[in-house]
């Protein structure tokens, strides 16, 4: 496994730690570990910048989908400072996955996320 592959996988692991953080303090720490201070997150439903806005976006997803967790689908693929990966939002109660997509991230020199461009492949009606 190359050094860059480890870099991408580590960044994506921190990304999922942030999206699955269970309480506000853990979420704040996980977002700071995953994103650079000026980091961004953009998908069809949101465009936010900075740790506070990213944490609020993640908290809102947990409010909309209580009892769900984000899980990676497949391998992380990357080159230079860019990586992509697929994910799904899975119910911890029944294993259903009503939301799925893929994200493209760019990393800073420290391996923290500079930007996320998210794409939604499956979204329930009314979400």
Task: Give tens-digit pLDDT for 79-105.
Answer: 999 999 999 999 999 999 999 999 999
pTM assigned to the model: 0.93
Q: What does the pLDDT average to over 4-13?
A: 93
Q: What is the mean pLDDT of the chain?
A: 94
Q: Return d(Cα 62, Cα 50) in angstroms, integer.
A: 19
Q: What does the pLDDT average to over 4-27?
A: 95
- Whether the predicted pLDDT of 125 surpasses 80: no
Q: What does the pLDDT average to over 55-59?
A: 98
- Whether the predicted pLDDT of 117 surpasses 50: yes
Q: HSE of 35 in the Cβ direction (CA atoms, 13 Å)?
A: 25
50-64 helix and 3-19 helix, angle to the nearest 10 degrees: 60
């Amino acid at each position: 496994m190359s050094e860059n592959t480890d870099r991408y996988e580590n960044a994506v692991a921190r990304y999922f730690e942030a999206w699955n953080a269970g309480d506000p303090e853990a979420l704040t720490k996980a977002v700071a570990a995953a994103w650079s201070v000026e980091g961004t997150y953009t998908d069809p439903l949101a465009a936010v910048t900075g740790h506070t806005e990213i944490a609020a976006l993640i908290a809102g997803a947990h409010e909309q989908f209580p009892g769900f967790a984000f899980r990676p689908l497949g391998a992380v693929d990357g080159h230079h400072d860019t990586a992509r990966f697929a994910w799904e939002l899975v119910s911890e109660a029944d294993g259903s996955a009503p939301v799925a997509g893929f994200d493209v991230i760019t990393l800073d020199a420290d391996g923290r996320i500079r930007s996320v461009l998210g794409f939604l492949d499956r979204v329930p009606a009314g979400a």
